[in-house]
Amino acid sequence: MMTSLNQTIKYPKKQKTKLKRSPKLERNPFKKAICNKILTMSPKKPNSANRSVAKVLLTHSKIKLTAKIPGEKNNLQQHSNVLVSGACVKDLIGVSYCVVRGKLDLLGVQNRKTKRSLYGIKKLSI
């Protein structure tokens, strides 16, 4: 049944609110965090590997979350400072944040030639 003109004026349609991909960052692109634990997780069904993941605590809001550590090998320990960004990790369940390489205590990936900006490496000088 269609609504009458008086009904649409009295009760206008409400727009649906979009769900945020990274609500714990509170509209910030990055947030500083402290590592509580570094562990490995196995991904969803078609993939198989051990992905390195960090359980972190955001410094200002005291919110706990899990963030993926991109790249091979890392130098993270407990109580090290990291920069967390919102990034959808499809093959890890419950992980929707990513740690930024090359900032604060986390070093960049060694011997990286391609996609250097993702892994915190400066341009090689010859």
pLDDT at residue 29, as a whole number: 93
Distance of CA 2 to the CA centre of its chain: 44
- Kind plus residue range of the DSSP H or E element containing 53: strand 51-58
Task: Report the alpha-carbon distance of residue 48 to residue 38 in Å, rounded.
Answer: 19
Tokens of 78: 């407990």
How much is the pTM? 0.81
Per-residue pLDDT tens over the stretch 1-20: 889 999 999 999 889 988 88
Is the pLDDT confidence value at 22 over 90? no
Task: Report the alpha-carbon distance of residue 18 to residue 50 in Å, rounded.
Answer: 33
Per-residue pLDDT tens over the stretch 82-111: 999 998 888 999 999 999 999 999 999 988
Per-residue pLDDT tens over the stretch 23-77: 899 889 999 999 999 999 999 999 999 999 999 999 999 999 999 999 999 999 9
Neighbours of 120 (CB within 10 A): 17
Domains, the chain = 28-99 (2.40.50.140)
Task: Report the alpha-carbon distance of residue 18 to residue 27 in Å, rounded.
Answer: 13
pLDDT at residue 116, as a whole number: 87
Mean pLDDT value of segment 110-123:
88
Mean pLDDT value of segment 111-116:
88
